[in-house]
Amino acid sequence: MKIRIKKLHPDAILPSYAHGPEEDAAMDLCAVERTVLLPGIAQAVPTGIAIELPPGHEAQVRPRSGLALKHSLTVNFGTIDPGYRGEIRVVMFNLGRAEYVIEKGDRIAQLIVAPYDAVQWEEGELGDSARGAGGFGSSGR
């Protein structure tokens, strides 16, 4: 699938697969500027890119496991809608105790492009299931 992408900043890095699309589901997103993440404060980190997704597709922003494990950094699981044409900015959270510096060019998140189905609701009674209304913790420990 080919998707239009635009660099909004000359130093922007296009998303890419670290090990190729046969081995990776997600592409790395990179920061376009130095950002200091303070503990407990959410910040939108710019990537310097915008994309044009085809109808019926979304882009999902996800955390990088290494940043989470080694530095207590995570991201808001964001959805980029097909109609959005603005800059992709990654909402990041520093869950650690010390500030963390993101440098220009650092890989900060992952991006997955996925199809979705448009839904039309149909009101009415719901069918039975073995689970029923069992929710939080219903499957045991």
Q: Biggest alpha carbon distance in the chain? A: 56
Helices (H), strands (E): how many in the chain? 1, 11
Asked if pLDDT for residue 140 goes beyond 80, the answer is: no
**Euclidean distance between CA atoms 100 and 73, whole angstroms:** 9
Distance between CA atoms of residues 37 and 39, nearest Å = 7
pLDDT tens per residue, range 26-43: 999 999 999 999 999 999
- 118 pLDDT band, cuts 50/70/90, is very high
**How many Cα atoms within 13 Å fall on the side-chain side of residue 37?**
28
pLDDT of residue 64: 96
Residue 11's pLDDT is what?
97
Residue 130: the pLDDT is 86
Q: Compute CA distances 13 → 46, 90, 97, 130, whole Å.
A: 11, 14, 29, 49
Q: What is the pLDDT of residues 56-114, one digit of tens each?
A: 999 999 999 999 999 999 999 999 999 999 999 999 999 999 999 999 999 999 999 99
Share of the chain above pLDDT 70, in %: 100
- CATH-assigned architecture of domain 4-115: Distorted Sandwich (2.70)
Domain boundaries, the chain: 4-115
Please state, rounded to an integer, the average pLDDT across all residues of the chain. Answer: 95
